[in-house]
Amino acid sequence: MSTSVTFVGSGDSFVPGTVQHCIPVDAPGIRFAIDFGASSLIALERLASPTIRSTAFFDAFLHGDHCGGIPFLLVDAMLLPTRDRPLTIAGPAMTTERLKSVAAAMMPGMDVMVPKFPITYLDMAVLRPLEIGPLKVTSYPAVHTQQTNPTSWCVEVAESVDAYTGRQRVTEHMPATGGWCRSLDC
């Protein structure tokens, strides 16, 4: 199986009628998504996409059009009796704290729901590679609204290297990659 990337959404909060950032990736041994904006779950349901059953979700920065759909994803996963696989949610500094705050504001009472699967939140330090299953993930400093702790991503899986800047400009921190590299700029 080769790595497959689908652009489900690349719109921001200000473009009416577009789906916010959501890029599902199917790779050997893992399914993950880069960003999960507030409208992502609806778009994936319409596509009947299995990506909502993904193993990991990565957020470039903490704006709602990049991570605002995660509380809806979690409630959906907790209400579906079929999800039992672990779920990892990784993002820049303060991801855990902010996503739990957003979930409490958007879905009051969600904190008493008990998932049937383990959830791991990872606040990733920049420039420190981390292995998540078959993925080698590195976040890099990026240029965007400072309060969102902006990062760019390099995800290595099955001899594929995917770089994602989240509509930010490529900086000197993005890695020079040998071999096949796709830039998932939206």
Give the angle subtended at the CA of 98 by the CAs of 147 and 135, to the nearest 5°. Answer: 95
Q: Which two tokens stand for residue 28?
A: 């050997």
Residue 75 has pLDDT above 80, yes or no: yes
Q: Tens of pLDDT along 64-73?
A: 777 788 888 8
| 8 A C-beta contact, residue 124 and residue 90 | yes
The phi, psi pair for 135, rounded to 5°, reads: -95, 145
Residue 149 has pLDDT above 60, yes or no: yes
**Where do we find the tokens 């965007």?**
144
The pLDDT of residue 45: 82
Q: What is the pTM of this model?
A: 0.80
Q: Which two tokens stand for residue 149?
A: 């702790």
Residue 177 has pLDDT above 50, yes or no: no
Residue 184 has pLDDT above 70, yes or no: no
- CATH homologous superfamily of 4-183 equals Ribonuclease Z/Hydroxyacylglutathione hydrolase-like (3.60.15.10)
The pLDDT of residue 55: 80
The distance of Cα 79 from the centroid of its chain, to the nearest Å, equals: 21
Q: State the DSSP H helix or E strand holding residue 102, giving kind and residue range, or none if neither.
A: helix 95-106
| 8 A C-beta contact, residue 76 and residue 52 | yes
- 3-state secondary structure at position 167: coil
In eight-state DSSP terms, residue 72 is H
| 8 A C-beta contact, residue 126 and residue 182 | no
In eight-state DSSP terms, residue 168 is S
The distance of Cα 16 from the centroid of its chain, to the nearest Å, equals: 22
Residue 176 has pLDDT above 80, yes or no: no
